[in-house]
Amino acid sequence: MPTTITPTSTEPKPKRHLEDHDHGSGRRPPTDKRTGGGGDNENWNDRPNGHRGPRERLIRYRMGIFFALASDLMFFVAIVSTFFVSQSTGHFDAYNNYVNEWSPTLIPPILWLNTIVLILSSITMETARRRMFHEVDVMDEWLGLGKPITRAAIPWVAATVVLGIIFLIGQWIAWTQLALQHVFFLSNPSSHFFYLITGVHGIHLILGIFGLGAALIGLYVSRSLETRQIMVDCASWYWHSMGIFWLFLFTLLVFFQ
Amino acid sequence: MNSPLRRYLFSTDHRVIGVQYLVLALVSVTIGTLLSLLMRIHLVWPDRILPFHGPILPEDYLALVTIHGTIMLFFVLTTAPQSGFGNLILPAQIGSRRMAFPLANAISFWLTAVALVILLSSTFVPGGSAISGWTAYPPFSAVASAGPGQGAGMDMWLASIAVFAVAGTIGAINTLVTIIKLRCEGMTWDRIPLTVWGWFTAALLSVIAFSVLLAALLLLFCDRHAGTSFFVPTGDLVSGVIHAARHPGNGSPLLWLHLFWFFGHPEVYISILPGLGLTSMLLANFSGRRVFAYKTMIVTTLLIGFLGIMLWGHHMFVAGLNPYAASAFAVSTMAIAIPASAKVLSWLATVWSSRPRYTTAMLFSLGFVSLFITGGLTGPVLAQPILDEYLHNTFFVVAHFHLIMAMAAIFGLFAATYYWFPLMTARSGRSGRMMSERLGRLHFWATIVGAYATFLPMHLTGLMGEPRHYAQLIGVPNAAGHLLAGTLPLNRFITWSAIFLAAAQLLFFANLIHSLLRGKPAPPNPWQATTLEWHPALYPNAPVEAAAERIVVYRQPCEYQSSAGEELILPQWSSEAIPNIKPE
Amino acid sequence: MKRTAFNALLFLALLSAVPAFAQGCTQCRDNTAATPPATQRAYRHAIVLMASAGCGLFIATLVLLKRQD
């Protein structure tokens, strides 16, 4: 029964020579040029797939991460909707009194510090991301002058990881402070949400730190400039979004309880 | 690296993954069908003893309902059209040779397989499978003591669906990026085939909806194991005991319904949208016509998806929803009739007074149209809160969604299988095989007769008042017993029809096996199709050199031209000028 | 002018249709009557939030697709 299909190789065989600094785009410098460089309004987008300039793969991955983040946004929107409904829902007790047990959870002041740390980490991450596309360095790499981009970006990515871990430790301290005041996950509908939101966001940040770790390893290991750019770029968009999500969630916890 | 295991099992090639999804769906649909037959048989002959099991208890019946619904909706109607054919055909239809993220694609499939295994193995845990239906309404689903399967079985259900939601999201992201970024030259948005628009809209809905389901599952998990009460009201009586969560809270099942149906309704459209697109394309292909109002069809596909996001409340008309909210949801629900009717009109106009070639694929597409109309007409009826109030928990609703979602989507799948079988079986150096048309026609007629005979009478039993989810119709005391006894003759008929319908699928299996082994070799482009999956360079058996060939698209799909008795077929990749065509 | 009048009439006819008024089962009415306004408001906000977030993402993706052309 030979009626099975023959799989094609999914990644097109790279006919490029990394030693020769060819990025699969016709040995053009991997800078962000709108045109194909051939004059006469030559446009990357008029070319077939796989030949649309040095950023084609990057843009594809970036779009993928954006859709993943859009999906994640809906996750948080669902939780926030539940937050609003739970907040204003009460019940009738045995004496027919209407009770709403929601009492706002006091926000530990350390969360403000954490928020600042997270904003700082976003700034370091953005710096790292921009370093990846720094045109002079990109050209240096293309010409074969070592890996200046990696050298420039690694400290910033590492700083982001450190700041991220500091943020997570800060969140943990906030939890222990609340626990010292005998506010636990089960204490109140409001505390359910406090722990749930900080916890779920924390899990996302842990994933983000894994992503950053992968990017750091990639920066060391990968010889393809585009792969390194993709890793840092995607990790950084994820990280920024987690920062923005946190700002919204923090605002919710501080002002809308 | 090149071991058969790597090539055919853990492959990242989209066509292999597509076939894997289809096999998974085929296994699932077989299990799901057998479960539904058990239910039907139990309804009319409740005393039958199941071999190796014993009598079917009410909780067994509910477990059958739950697993049937979950398997069919998630593992058949979501995976087969969207992930199965989506992977097999989609890249070629937009002129690409691959999906955007092959590795993520493989991960998505294996997560789906894991989810299925978790769901099926829930039968073997103490208490058996979950019994709260595929919708898992709390407090039934939130309290372990609510029923036999609501302990470990429900936890397995939660785990399975959570894994499936993650897998579905990954797959949908892959589909979206592929469609947006990997189109070939000249494939502008008005030249994208309608099937691709169906996959696109369904993927978009998956990205939006699955994560909401995930959030709801997380909250339900907290209710079950962390002692919260997001969904369980205070002082709820469960199995005769006042349910005391560790924290008595103010939860409300209504909240779960909102979150679940925000996901659940788009999910329904995810399963039908690819079928809608495919039907348009196949009708046009086999009648040798253009798709009537092509751009409008694109818009209606998107509109069905868009409206699908904001009409989830019509599942909650009898769940204590605010009547004003109910009215709003009723209006948005009835608005869906506009794009849906536009689609039906376009199908009719496309085939109107043409001379279609009645191949099996065409027959199944026409069957799709028929079922879509029959099932769709009861939609606006159920969209009225006043009518829904009476009909909601009866078999009328069962009839409605089985016709429009289950049967129509399955007909779409059959059409796709008969149509694309040559592409599924082609391999390098050998052309694909056709499915047997004779067996196929027989299969079609048996299936459509069986489908209508099974699901049309359910409208009647529903109108007579037969409720859903009743494990037993016989032996109920008093007036209710009279009412249910009155539906028994029809129910016996339905059961026999269901058995007939299931047996008719043996023809399909026979055809499948026969055609895999000895099917007629397919000529290139056997259906005179115009879309790119039949492009010689994108064909699975294309020579290796073709991998470098540049794919360019010059026109819309389905440009057929019959002038002076001469049939002219202009595939999308043909650059010929159309003779004597009036500018639009 | 004639067209506007016709459209206005159509709109009014649509508004005066039965579904434009609140319909619901008695259980729904009782349930709603027993729900404090604050809770009803919260549900309303939650519905609007979820629907608008979903629709927003849907439209944003379409814009993205259109811009890629």
Q: Please report all neighbours of A, defined by 3+ CB atom pairs within 8 A.
A: B, C
Task: Name the average pLDDT for chain B.
Answer: 90
Q: Distance between alpha carbon B509 and the CA centroid of its chain, in Å?
A: 20
* Mean pLDDT, rounded, for A167-184: 94
B212: pLDDT strictly greater than 50: yes
Q: Which residue in chain C has the smallest CA separation from B201?
A: C58
Q: Looking at CA atoms only, how far is residue C14 from chain B in angstroms?
A: 10
**Cβ of residue C42 closer than 8 Å to a chain A Cβ:** yes
Reported as a pLDDT band with limits 50, 70 and 90, residue B176 is very high
Reported as a pLDDT band with limits 50, 70 and 90, residue A1 is very low
* Mean pLDDT, rounded, for B105-131: 94
Q: Which residues of C touch A70 (CB under 8 A)?
A: 57, 60-61
C69 and B212 in contact by Cβ < 8 A?
A: no
Residues 30-49 in A contacting B (C-alpha not used; CB under 8 Å): 46-49
Provide the percentage of residues in chain B whose pLDDT is more than 70: 97
Q: Which residues of C touch A73 (CB under 8 A)?
A: 53, 57
Q: Give the Cα separation of B29 and B414 in Å (integer).
A: 13
Q: What is the DSSP string of B237-275?
A: EETTEE---SS-----HHHHHHHHHHHHHHHHHHHHHHH
Q: Which residues of A touch B551 (CB under 8 A)?
A: 48
B90: pLDDT strictly greater than 60: yes
SS3 A124: helix
Answer with the residue of higher pLDDT: B250 or B380: B380
Answer with the residue of higher pLDDT: A28 or A14: A28
Q: Distance between alpha carbon B95 and the CA centroid of its chain, in Å?
A: 25
Helix orientation angle between B337-351 and B323-335, rounded to the nearest 10 degrees: 20
B169 and A68 in contact by Cβ < 8 A?
A: yes
A70 and B208 in contact by Cβ < 8 A?
A: yes
Task: State the residue for tokens 């001379």.
Answer: B355
Top residue of A52, A73, A74, A201 to mutate, by most chain B CBs within 10 Å, is: A74
| Parallel/antiparallel/unpaired status of strands A98-99 and B49-50 | unpaired
B187: pLDDT strictly greater than 80: yes
B169 and A47 in contact by Cβ < 8 A?
A: no
Least Cα distance to B276 among B206, B335, B346, B208 occurs for: B346
C64: pLDDT strictly greater than 80: yes
* Mean pLDDT, rounded, for A16-43: 55
CB B527 within 8 A of CB B285: yes
Q: What is the DSSP string of B398-438?
A: HHHHIIIIIIHHHHHHHHHHHHHHHHHH-BTTB--BPPPHH
Q: Looking at CA atoms only, how far is residue A25 from chain C in angstroms?
A: 20
B197: pLDDT strictly greater than 90: yes
State which amino acid sits at residue A21. Answer: H
Answer with the residue of higher pLDDT: A52 or A153: A153
SS3 B54: strand
Answer with the residue of higher pLDDT: A23 or B572: B572
A186 and B19 in contact by Cβ < 8 A?
A: no
Q: Residue B549, class by beta-carbon neighbours within 10 Å (0-12 exposed, 13-18 middle, 19+ buried)? A: middle
Give the alpha-carbon dihedral of B106, B107, B111, B114, to 10 degrees. Answer: 70
Reported as a pLDDT band with limits 50, 70 and 90, residue A23 is low
* Mean pLDDT, rounded, for B173-196: 92
A70 and C60 in contact by Cβ < 8 A?
A: yes
Least Cα distance to B390 among B467, B495, B502 occurs for: B467
For B41, list phi and psi in degrees, rounded to 5.
-65, -40
Chains B–C, number of C-beta pairs less than 8 Å apart: 95
* Mean pLDDT, rounded, for B302-320: 92
* Mean pLDDT, rounded, for B478-491: 90
C50 and A88 in contact by Cβ < 8 A?
A: no
Q: What share of chain B is helix, strand, coil (3-state, %, to 5)?
A: 65, 5, 30
A9: pLDDT strictly greater than 70: no
Other CB atoms within 10 A of residue B565 CB: 5
* Mean pLDDT, rounded, for B71-91: 95
**Cβ of residue B234 closer than 8 Å to a chain A Cβ:** yes
* Mean pLDDT, rounded, for A105-109: 91
Select from A73, A82, A89 the Cβ nearest to the Cβ of C53: A73
Q: Give the Cα separation of A148 and A198 in Å (integer).
A: 38
Q: What is the DSSP string of A55-118?
A: THHHHHHHHHHHHHHHHHHHHHHHHHHHHHHHHT--EE-TTS-EE----PPPPPTHHHHHHHHH
B181 and C68 in contact by Cβ < 8 A?
A: yes
Q: How far apart are the first and last CA of chain C?
A: 38
Q: Looking at CA atoms only, how far is residue B322 from chain C in angstroms?
A: 6
Sign of the Cα torsion A127, A129, A134, A140 reads positive
Assign 3-class secondary structure to C29-57.
Answer: HHHHHCCCHHHHHHHHHHHHHHHHHHHHH
Q: Which residues of B touch A1 (CB under 8 A)?
A: 516-517
Q: What share of chain A is helix, strand, coil (3-state, %, to 5)?
A: 65, 0, 35
* Mean pLDDT, rounded, for A50-64: 82
pLDDT at B145: 87
B377: pLDDT strictly greater than 80: yes
SS3 B315: helix
Select from A7, A71, A192 the Cβ nearest to the Cβ of B169: A71
Which phi-psi region, left, alpha or beta, contains residue A40 (left: φ > 0; alpha: ψ -120 to 50)?
left
* Mean pLDDT, rounded, for A183-212: 94
List the single range of A15-24, A56-65, B171-180, B441-450 with lowest mean pLDDT.
A15-24
Reported as a pLDDT band with limits 50, 70 and 90, residue A31 is low
Provide the percentage of residues in chain B whose pLDDT is more than 90: 65
Q: Which residues of A touch C57 (CB under 8 A)?
A: 70, 73-74
Task: State the residue for tokens 């008309």.
Answer: B317
Select from C32, C54, C64 the Cβ nearest to the Cβ of B208: C54
pLDDT at A102: 87
* Mean pLDDT, rounded, for B388-393: 90
pLDDT at A4: 47
Q: CB-side exposure of B577: number of CA atoms within 13 Å?
A: 5
Q: What is the DSSP string of B463-509?
A: HHTPBTT-S-SSS--HHHHHHHHHHHHHHHHHHHHHHHHHHHHHHHH
Top residue of B8, B23, B87, B181 to mutate, by most chain A CBs within 10 Å, is: B181
pLDDT at C28: 82
pLDDT digits (tens, 9 = 90+) for B331-363: 899 999 999 999 999 999 999 988 889 999 999
Provide the percentage of residues in chain A whose pLDDT is more than 90: 53
Q: Give the Cα separation of B196 and C38 in Å (integer).
A: 45
Task: State the residue for tokens 């969604």.
Answer: B401
Reported as a pLDDT band with limits 50, 70 and 90, residue B258 is very high
Top residue of C14, C15, C21, C25 to mutate, by most chain B CBs within 10 Å, is: C25
A2 and B15 in contact by Cβ < 8 A?
A: no
* Mean pLDDT, rounded, for B532-559: 85
Task: State the residue for tokens 């797939």.
Answer: A49
List the single range of A95-104, B350-359, B372-381, B487-496 with lowest mean pLDDT.
A95-104
| Parallel/antiparallel/unpaired status of strands A98-99 and B54-55 | unpaired
pLDDT at B452: 97
Q: Which residue in chain A has the smallest CA separation from B541?
A: A6
A51: pLDDT strictly greater than 70: no
CA angle B236, B215, B177 (to 5 degrees): 155
Q: Looking at CA atoms only, how far is residue B16 from chain A in angstroms?
A: 6
Q: Distance between alpha carbon C2 and the CA centroid of its chain, in Å?
A: 28
Residues 10-49 in C contacting B (C-alpha not used; CB under 8 Å): 18-25, 27-29, 31-32, 35, 40, 43-44, 46-47
Q: Give the Cα separation of B411 and B444 in Å (integer).
A: 9
pLDDT digits (tens, 9 = 90+) for B52-70: 888 888 889 999 999 999 9
State which amino acid sits at residue B564. Answer: A
B582: pLDDT strictly greater than 90: no
Task: State the residue for tokens 């959030």.
Answer: B215
Two tokens, residue B422 = 């040559």
**Cβ of residue A14 closer than 8 Å to a chain B Cβ:** no
List the single range of A63-77, A102-116, B240-254, B312-326 with lowest mean pLDDT.
B240-254
**Cβ of residue C68 closer than 8 Å to a chain B Cβ:** yes
B309 and C28 in contact by Cβ < 8 A?
A: no
CB B371 within 8 A of CB B408: yes
Q: Give the Cα separation of B101 and B184 in Å (integer).
A: 17
pLDDT digits (tens, 9 = 90+) for C36-58: 888 899 999 999 999 999 999 99
Q: Which residues of A touch C60 (CB under 8 A)?
A: 70
In sequence order, what are the residues at sequence separation of 6 or more whose Cβ sits closer than 8 angstroms to the Cβ of residue B153?
Answer: B63, B122, B123, B125, B127, B128, B129, B130, B131
In sequence order, what are the residues at sequence separation of 6 or more whose Cβ sits closer than 8 angstroms to the Cβ of residue C40?
Answer: B322, C32
pLDDT at A50: 63
Two tokens, residue B305 = 């998806």
Q: Which residues of B touch C22 (CB under 8 A)?
A: 323-324, 326-327
CB B134 within 8 A of CB B164: no
pLDDT at A2: 39
SS3 B570: strand
* Mean pLDDT, rounded, for B114-118: 97
**Cβ of residue C11 closer than 8 Å to a chain A Cβ:** no
Q: Looking at CA atoms only, how far is residue C51 from chain A in angstroms?
A: 10
pLDDT at A39: 55
pLDDT at A3: 43
**Cβ of residue C56 closer than 8 Å to a chain B Cβ:** no
Reported as a pLDDT band with limits 50, 70 and 90, residue A20 is very low
CA angle C48, C49, C50 (to 5 degrees): 95
Q: Which residue in chain B has the smallest CA separation from C65?
A: B180
Q: Give the Cα separation of A81 and C48 in Å (integer).
A: 9
Q: Which residue in chain C has the smallest CA separation from A70?
A: C57
Q: What is the DSSP string of B503-559?
A: HHHHHHHHHHHHHHHHPPBPPSSTT---SGGG-TTTSTT--GGGGGPPPB--S-S-E
Two tokens, residue B61 = 């019946």
Q: Distance between alpha carbon A87 and the CA centroid of its chain, in Å?
A: 30
SS3 B10: coil
Task: Name the average pLDDT for chain A.
Answer: 84
In sequence order, what are the residues at sequence separation of 6 or more whose Cβ sits closer than 8 angstroms to the Cβ of residue B546?
Answer: B536, B537, B538
C53 and A98 in contact by Cβ < 8 A?
A: no
Q: Residue B460, class by beta-carbon neighbours within 10 Å (0-12 exposed, 13-18 middle, 19+ buried)? A: middle
> Which range has highest mean pLDDT (A10-14, A168-172, B8-12, B477-481)?
A168-172
Answer with the residue of higher pLDDT: A257 or B107: B107
List the single range of A91-105, A228-242, B90-104 with lowest mean pLDDT.
A91-105
pLDDT digits (tens, 9 = 90+) for B2-59: 677 777 778 889 999 999 999 999 999 999 999 999 999 999 998 888 888 888 888 8
Q: Which residues of C touch A80 (CB under 8 A)?
A: 49
Q: Which residue in chain C has the smallest CA separation from B185?
A: C69
pLDDT digits (tens, 9 = 90+) for B417-452: 999 999 998 877 778 899 999 999 999 999 999 999
B517 and A3 in contact by Cβ < 8 A?
A: yes
C61 and B323 in contact by Cβ < 8 A?
A: no
Q: How far is CA B396 from CA B327, B365, B456, in A?
A: 21, 25, 9
A116: pLDDT strictly greater than 90: yes
Q: Give the Cα separation of B520 and B523 in Å (integer).
A: 9
Chains A–C, number of C-beta pairs less than 8 Å apart: 39
Q: Please report all neighbours of C, defined by 3+ CB atom pairs within 8 A.
A: A, B
pLDDT at B245: 62
pLDDT at C55: 95
Least Cα distance to B250 among B265, B228, B272 occurs for: B228
SS3 B576: coil
Question: Which residues are registered as beta bridge partners of A98?
Answer: A92
Q: How far is CA A75 from CA B211, B559, C58, in A?
A: 5, 43, 15
Q: Which residue in chain B has the smallest CA separation from A87?
A: B250
